[in-house]
Structure 1
Amino acid sequence: MFVIVDDREIVTAGYASAFEREGYAALELKPAELVDWLEIASPADLQAVEGFLLGVSPYRPAFPTQIKTRCPDAPVFALDDRSCLETTLQMFAAGADDVLRKPVHVREILARVGVYRRRVSQDDKGVASGDIEVFFDGRDPIVFKEVMELPRRERRILEYLVKNKGRRVTKSQIFNAVYGVMNEGVDECVVESHISKLRKKLRMRLGYDAIESTRYIGYMLKQPDRVVANAPNAELRSSTPAKTERVNIRAVALA
């Protein structure tokens, strides 16, 4: 989810619609509402934020520090109507991660978020979890060294799980990240359907179930018990040694 902050509804609504077309949820706020939202938002809502877009406002220089206090992992982008060296330097000094001049396509913003994620993770490529690598810039993930084409919702869920690798996340957290905290037109249970389809596709590619699900607790990416040399034939190989062992034991017994 992206948080778009601007006094002009035409700006927030325009970017929110553009993000939606790319499969990302958005929350539209006015500058006077941002600080209050940061204070009352739940940890789950804050964790769902992929980035902040800050339009021009007299309060804007104070926002990056306030945002980083509550959302230290979310990049902050300042959006300017025109280029101004003084304003750009002021926003960088205030803690903004980037300053962009409008109009800027949301795909460029997504690409910059991907660069930010890679820089934070100190990875020159994408962010990886075992045999799964995601990019956070609209590209499909690489799963077991091959690109896996996914519908945008499933891709976003996988990115969110990789982002939170090693941690269990709830259905509500995933829903907030993919559909947005203010979306009342979609039932939260849709997440279960998306994850079911995603699990099946990952299992076919990897040879093991990559998403661990615990009722009432949530979901988490998991690693295989052992390294799989050739995932598509994993089940066949794993069964062969067991059969051989049974034959050998029987042969010894007969002897």
Structure 2
Amino acid sequence: MNHVLVVDDDPQILRAMRITLRARGYSVAVAASGADALAGAAAQPPDLVILDLGLPDLDGVEVIAGLRGWCQAPILVLSGRSDSSDKVEALDAGADDYLTKPFGMDELLARMRALSRRVGAPDDQPVVTIGAASVDLAARRVTVEGEEEPLRLTPTEWHLLEVLVRHPGKLLSHRQLLLEVWGPGYETAHGNLRLYMAQLRRKLEPDPARPRYLLNEPGMGYRFEP
């Protein structure tokens, strides 16, 4: 993940991001508007997009939708909008993660590293490790170190786990997960999601009360953190 496109209408943020990211070895392009962002991405496809939602010409969600028509690069939203509905709208449009301003550069870099880990992961790493458990995506089987028999998961538990581990580091909204696992008509069935996430944590997390791998972002969704 070498080429990063940073989109923000604040020149100070653009300057700080350019300096910081270049110092860490990234190639950086910047854009101060949605139109410039779409044109810049088309001219030089980015490996990662860092996007502010409050742009002078287009709403950031429109930019996400425009990019998602052809660009598969992870999109990390940086925004002063802290309302959960804005975050969920961005995630449902195709963003991969959301960081609220003001933010710490260390956290931003950590989120970037997490997104870089998910690129190509399902094909290149068909076996994913969660603590002492190994999730074999090809064989559709979970084994636990020291246990002779595979871990028993219900079909719904497996489907939910598979969606999460196929997108390591990506924040998936409640709506995305409910549509993917349960299908249309279940977009608001949050109780289903909470129940099955709790069951997966009991089976996979070393300490289900303090999960390390299957993480919750309150009001937004869940992510698998490798």
- With the shorter chain as reference, the TM-score category is 0.3 to 0.5
More strand by share: 2
Q: TM-score, normalised to structure 2's length?
A: 0.46
Larger Rg: 1
Q: TM-score, normalised to structure 1's length?
A: 0.41
More helix by share: 1
